[in-house]
Amino acid sequence: MSALDLTQLPDRGRCLWVDGYEWGYQHGISHGLELAENQWRGRMEVSAVIARQVARVDPYADLCDRRGEPEAAQAQRQLLAQRGIGPASYRRPSRTLQDVRPVPSVAEALASWEPTEVAP
């Protein structure tokens, strides 16, 4: 079998070959996207099952209390509170981006904008 020389094909044959190539290329892309989406859905389904299982388990601090280890329970609660994790009863309030830096209005942003020269 020899290599196909598109320059030797008549115009109609070349158009048919290019159309077929384009269809195959598009089909390959759509098939790849479909496979990726199916993979993602499968991972999300597994992740949802794991999240439901984890949500049913009691927190480590509560398990420590049940075992009679109040120091370990308190240490865990303090660690979670420092990291901002856990129930709102012992979580410090989180800061939003607007608390950190106010967002200017469009008018304020445009008023403070100064055009700069771009070197050629």
Q: Is residue 78 part of a domain?
A: yes
Domain range for residue 74?
9-87
Confidence band of 99 (pLDDT split at 50, 70, 90): low
Per the model's pLDDT, the better-predicted residue between 4 and 108 turns out to be 4
The pLDDT, as a whole number, for residue 2 is 67
pLDDT at 72 over 90: yes
CA separation (Å) from 33 to 1, 19, 27, 29, 37? 33, 21, 10, 6, 6
The tens digit of pLDDT for each residue in 77-89 reads 999 888 887 665 4
Categorize the per-residue pLDDT at 69 as very low, low, confident or very high, splitting at 50, 70 and 90. Answer: very high
The answer to whether residue 92 scores a pLDDT higher than 80 is no
Mean predicted confidence (pLDDT) in 31-36: 92
For residue 12, what are the CA distances in angstroms to 2, 3, 4, 6, 106? Answer: 21, 19, 15, 11, 56
Lowest mean pLDDT among 19-23, 50-54, 100-104, 114-118: 100-104
How many domains, the chain?
1
Domain assignment present for residue 45? The answer is yes
| Percentage with pLDDT > 70 across the chain | 72
Residue count of the chain:
120
Residue 52 lies in a domain: yes
Interatomic CA distance for residues 32 and 77, integer angstroms: 46
Asked if residue 93 is part of any domain, the answer here is no
Residue 76, pLDDT > 90, answer: yes
Residue 2 inside a domain? The answer is: no
